[in-house]
Amino acid sequence: MLTFLAASSAPTPLYRVYQARWVFSSGMLTVIFGVYAVCLLLALLTVGSLSDHVGRRPVILGAIALDAVAMLVFTAADGVPLLIAARMVQGIATGAATGALAAAILDAERPHGPIVNSIAPVAGLAVGGLGSAALVQFLPWPRQAVYLVLIVLLALEAIGTIVGSETSPMMPGARQAIRPKVGVPAAAGSAFAAIALLDIAAWALGGFYLSLGPSLVRVVTGSDSILLGGLLVFTLAGAGAATIWLLRTVAASRVMRFGAAALAIGVAVTIAATQTGSQALLFVGTVIAGTGFGASFQGVTRTVFPLAPATERGKLVAAFYVLSYLAFCIPAVAAGVIATSVSLLTTATGYGVVLIVLALTALIPRRSR
């Protein structure tokens, strides 16, 4: 899972390179980012549970093959159409892999599976953002090197999957499994409504950083360093992953409150950095916001998922990811479009204010709203 999510954030430091080479707007940049999330969501809803019926190995191998195809398309990209095509294929591959890999981790690591499944995606985003930036900054073929490295890693994962043992027997019902089932069971309805605002704020924060974050670094600091943009993504996601681990034994309600407060404070500090041009303050704000991102993600999942009966949990998980991935891409795409009419700094400030309002509102008990 780490490799798939690292691959998903690998294009982020390159967006500026693509934008300078092929001259497209911030709005188009966020569209290239957003199609990935939409395709991932569609794959997750349709083939996310397919491995329960055909086995983990076939689904994982198929996803690896698709992701390798996406990496090849990235290396051959000569304009926006191929970038969009690569992101679409990558989204499908990651969505297909997520369900199968998460289930395989639970099969193999039952006591620690849930925490591994929480940390691995966020850690993957951190590694991919920084690793890609370093390869672009220091190796030749800046638009191809990171994808060639990822193809090698995917090939190694394919070999490991082939020689590894299957952890799930084949079961009937594969056709029914690919029909999307989305819903919030009555037992989890009020809790789902209570966590919605915080979940939206957290994922919208991640979407902005992974799409426009490197561009914001350049505007705030005046630096053209690709590595600095990747470091910003690493800081957000790395702080999130560390927080998930550190707060794993803390009550979910306390984790959520901490997440909402940290997210609001971190975004406020980041806004201050954009107004003062302080690179140090930008990274301090990102660390604080990253802890809020990680705590919010962990808190909302630990609050809601256990409330659904086992027979309805799949629908609830699907509903959660629909909300999350729409929050991940739609606000970021909107910000990119707005940034073509006003400055990126103005857009980032307005975006941040909305996130602060959402996070602070999430702190208010629902019955008091």
Per-residue pLDDT at 177: 65
Using the 8-state DSSP alphabet, how is residue 165 labeled? P
DSSP state of 179: S
Per-residue b or e along 70-102, where b marks 16 or more CB atoms closer than 10 Å to that residue's CB: bbebbbebeebeebbbbbbbbbbbbbbbbbbbb
Tens of pLDDT, residue by residue over 226-264, are: 999 999 999 999 999 999 999 999 999 999 999 999 999
Which pLDDT belongs to residue 125? Answer: 93
How many residues does this entry show for the chain?
369
Contacts of 204 (CB under 8 A, 6+ apart): 327, 328, 331, 332, 351, 354, 355, 358
pLDDT digits (tens, 9 = 90+) for 162-200: 988 776 667 776 677 677 777 788 888 888 998 999 999
Q: Domain 2-164+180-364 adopts which CATH fold?
A: Growth Hormone; Chain: A; (1.20.1250)
276-311 tens-digit pLDDT: 999 999 999 999 999 999 999 999 988 887 887 766
pTM: 0.90
Residue 335 in tokens: 């910000």
pLDDT interval class at 358 (50, 70, 90):
very high
Q: What is the dihedral of CA 199, 56, 4, 297, to 10 degrees?
A: 20
Residue 306 pLDDT:
82
> What is the residue-averaged pLDDT of the chain?
90
**pLDDT value at 111 more than 70:** no
Where exactly are the structural domains of the chain? 2-164+180-364
Contact 159, 40 (CB under 8 A): no
